């Protein structure tokens, strides 16, 4: 009776199974109404490129670039949610999965694999895994149902190209040619700057002309910034002034957590050097069609037919939002800050800053997209206002950043400026109260410091805010941390 009871008793636990990470593929694979012999299967797109290359170098490279570009579009329309905007396995959904999506940047994974293996894994996904790969819990979708055969080969080419790696190829001659191509790609990419760099790393989201309409743009929210209007959210210059170069630099270097905007210079895994990041700033300014970035006395002839400024002597903003009158952080100002916060901010951010809007309004940004006030009790979801420091300076820097942000507001969004934008006007919130509010907002998460924004992910790859939070385990159970 006990055995029967044990056998029929329902269980919500995942069965314990040992998982083999890269299990051996089956001998053959049936997809696209064809049978592929995995022992001999080669990437037909790559073969075509190699054949063309042997006859005509330029045509071969042209085909290569076409395939990589097509694969890039496939990747950002289908794979980046899980495998990450930087292909590092840290997509928005990644921490909800066990096993986690594969990190394509890891040099110990992708270069060890053959393209036939990847073709099998991509076309059949989690359900295609053999028993030793515990197929039941892999979130990897079955792509042969959604992508054409060539799409899969192109995305494979893109993944290798993006990371400057090559697949494992048995034939030594072919392997040599492919490695030679890789070396050439890497050499060309080594000191890539400015517009070329933009095309390589940013265009897929921000679009060819910076209008925020890249092929991946429709698949993300908030949408990538449209640079043509010269409107930027996260800046430290006063009022409605354009951002300082430092602001743009920091956004590109650190990314905007909680959005698809990656951090390109994050410590330990920087894809771009500081010099490369700096070279992108004039590119961004050059996309402006509102004549905001060119110098005031710019020559009419310097604009092309589409309204783009063709010179590079763009304005550089030096003004910084003043930080005078700071009120030291202590218990009593927190109480004052709370009261001032409830008066000036609770309409949008809620009585305790949880982002539960009280006005009942549906907010919209300047581009007509729905937008929500931030949850101020979860600073790890903020885009830019957390200090990057981990020492005692963290508090002072974060408080100053909150002060700056609330004084300027967030341009392009309903979040208003709380210091008078025009000289001579009265400040919507007086200086003293703005500092009180900044001190209070710093404590809104409970026990600060709450995950100083060093990095979206800790070095170990786990997401570790140190405030208490409820999170879901892979089995769907709620657990407090």
In the complex with ligand HEC, the residue whose CB is nearer, 60 or 433, is: 433
Report helix, strand or coil for 402.
Answer: helix
Site string for ligand HEC, 148-177 (x = CB under 6 A): -------x----------------------
Residue of 344, 387, 404, 451 that binds ligand HEC (CB under 6 A)? 344
Q: Is 293 in the site for ligand HEC (CB under 6 A)?
A: no
Interface stretch with ligand HEC, choices 10-18, 139-147, 175-183, 295-303 (CB under 6 A): 139-147
Interface stretch with ligand HEC, choices 37-45, 49-57, 96-104, 171-179 (CB under 6 A): 96-104
Q: Given the DSSP bridges, would you call strands 478-480 and 470-472 parallel, antiparallel or unpaired?
A: antiparallel
Q: Is 71 in the site for ligand HEC (CB under 6 A)?
A: no
Q: What is the DSSP letter of 453?
A: S
Interface stretch with ligand HEC, choices 184-192, 232-240, 324-332, 468-476 (CB under 6 A): 232-240
Which 381-440 residues touch ligand HEC, going by CB under 6 A? 382-385, 402, 405-406, 410, 413-416, 418, 429, 437
Residue 29 forms beta bridges with which residues? 36
Query: Which residues, at least 6 apart from 120, have a Cβ–Cβ distance to it below 8 Å?
Result: 25, 26, 29, 36, 38, 128
Report, in Å, the least distance between residue 256 CB and ligand HEC: 5
Residue 203 forms beta bridges with which residues? none
Report, in Å, the least distance between residue 201 CB and ligand HEC: 4
Residue of 371, 408, 417, 445 that binds ligand HEC (CB under 6 A)? 371
**Pair 481, 469: CB distance under 8 Å:** yes
Rounded CA separation 191/382 (Å): 32
Q: Is 69 in the site for ligand HEC (CB under 6 A)?
A: no
Which 308-337 residues touch ligand HEC, going by CB under 6 A? none
Interface stretch with ligand HEC, choices 9-17, 133-141, 323-331, 448-456 (CB under 6 A): 133-141
Rounded CA separation 402/357 (Å): 19
Containing 161, the helix (H) or strand (E) segment is helix 149-162
**Pair 128, 121: CB distance under 8 Å:** yes
Rounded CA separation 63/52 (Å): 8
Residues comprising the chain, all counted: 481
In the complex with ligand HEC, the residue whose CB is nearer, 143 or 309, is: 143
Q: Is 284 in the site for ligand HEC (CB under 6 A)?
A: yes
Of 251, 269, 33, 21, whose CA–CA distance to 132 is shortest?
Answer: 21
**Pair 46, 115: CB distance under 8 Å:** yes
Interface stretch with ligand HEC, choices 31-39, 40-48, 132-140, 313-321 (CB under 6 A): 132-140
Report angle CA 449, 450, 456 to the nearest 5 degrees. Answer: 125
Interface stretch with ligand HEC, choices 116-124, 291-299, 319-327, 465-473 (CB under 6 A): 116-124
Site string for ligand HEC, 447-476 (x = CB under 6 A): ------------------------------
Residue 61 forms beta bridges with which residues? none
**Computed over its alpha carbons, how large is the radius of gyration of the chain?**
26
Q: Is 225 in the site for ligand HEC (CB under 6 A)?
A: yes
Report, in Å, the least distance between residue 199 CB and ligand HEC: 10
Report, in Å, the least distance between residue 95 CB and ligand HEC: 11
Q: Classify the phi-psi angles of 84: left when phi > 0, otherwise alpha if psi is within -120 to 50, otherwise beta.
A: left
Q: Is 280 in the site for ligand HEC (CB under 6 A)?
A: yes
Rounded CA separation 466/118 (Å): 37
Q: How does DSSP assign 307-334, residue by residue?
A: S-B-S------------TTPPPP-HHHH
Report, in Å, the least distance between residue 279 CB and ligand HEC: 10
Q: Is 254 in the site for ligand HEC (CB under 6 A)?
A: no
């Amino acid at each position: 009776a006990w055995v029967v009871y044990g056998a029929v008793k329902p269980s919500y636990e995942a069965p314990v199974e040992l998982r083999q990470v890269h299990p051996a593929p089956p001998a053959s694979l049936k997809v696209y109404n064809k049978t592929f012999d995995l022992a001999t299967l080669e990437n037909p797109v790559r073969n075509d490129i190699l054949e063309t290359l042997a006859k005509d170098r330029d045509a071969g490279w042209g085909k290569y670039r076409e395939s990589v570009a097509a694969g890039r579009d496939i990747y950002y329309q289908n794979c980046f949610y899980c495998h990450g905007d930087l292909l590092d396995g840290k997509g928005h959904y990644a921490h909800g999965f066990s096993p986690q999506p594969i990190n394509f940047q890891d040099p110990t994974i992708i270069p060890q694999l053959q393209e036939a293996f990847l073709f099998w894994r991509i076309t059949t996904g989690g359900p295609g895994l053999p028993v030793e790969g515990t197929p039941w819990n892999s979130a990897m979708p079955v792509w042969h149902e959604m992508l054409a055969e060539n799409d899969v080969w192109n995305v494979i080419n893109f993944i290798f190209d993006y990371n400057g790696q090559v697949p494992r190829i048995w034939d030594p001659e072919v392997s040599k040619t492919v490695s030679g191509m890789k070396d050439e790609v890497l050499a060309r990419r080594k000191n890539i700057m400015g517009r070329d760099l933009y095309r390589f790393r940013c265009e897929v989201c921000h679009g060819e002309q910076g209008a925020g309409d890249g092929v991946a743009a429709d698949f993300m929210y908030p949408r990538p910034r449209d640079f043509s209007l010269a409107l930027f959210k996260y800046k430290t210059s006063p009022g409605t002034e354009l951002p300082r170069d430092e602001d743009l630099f920091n956004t590109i270097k650190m990314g905007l957590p909680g959005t698809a905007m990656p951090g390109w210079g994050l410590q330990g895994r920087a894809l771009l050097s500081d010099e490369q990041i700096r070279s992108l700033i004039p590119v961004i300014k050059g996309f402006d069609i509102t004549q905001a970035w060119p110098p005031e006395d710019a020559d009419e002839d310097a604009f092309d037919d589409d309204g783009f400024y063709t010179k590079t002597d763009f304005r550089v903003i030096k003004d910084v939002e003043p930080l005078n009158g700071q009120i030291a952080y202590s218990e009593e100002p927190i109480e004052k800050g709370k009261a001032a916060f409830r008066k000036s901010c609770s309409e949008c951010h809620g009585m305790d800053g949880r982002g539960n809007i009280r006005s009942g309004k549906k907010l919209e940004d300047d581009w007509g997209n729905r937008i929500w006030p931030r949850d101020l009790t979860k600073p790890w979801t903020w885009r830019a206002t957390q200090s990057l420091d981990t020492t005692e300076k963290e508090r002072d820097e974060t408080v100053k950043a909150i002060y700056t942000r609330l004084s300027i507001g967030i341009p392009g969004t309903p979040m208003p400026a709380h210091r008078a934008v025009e000289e001579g006007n009265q400040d919507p919130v007086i200086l003293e109260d703005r500092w009180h509010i900044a001190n209070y907002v710093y404590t809104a998460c409970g026990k600060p410091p709450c995950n100083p924004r060093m990095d979206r992910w800790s070095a170990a790859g786990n997401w570790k805010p140190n405030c208490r939070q409820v999170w879901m385990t892979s089995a769907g159970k709620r657990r407090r941390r």
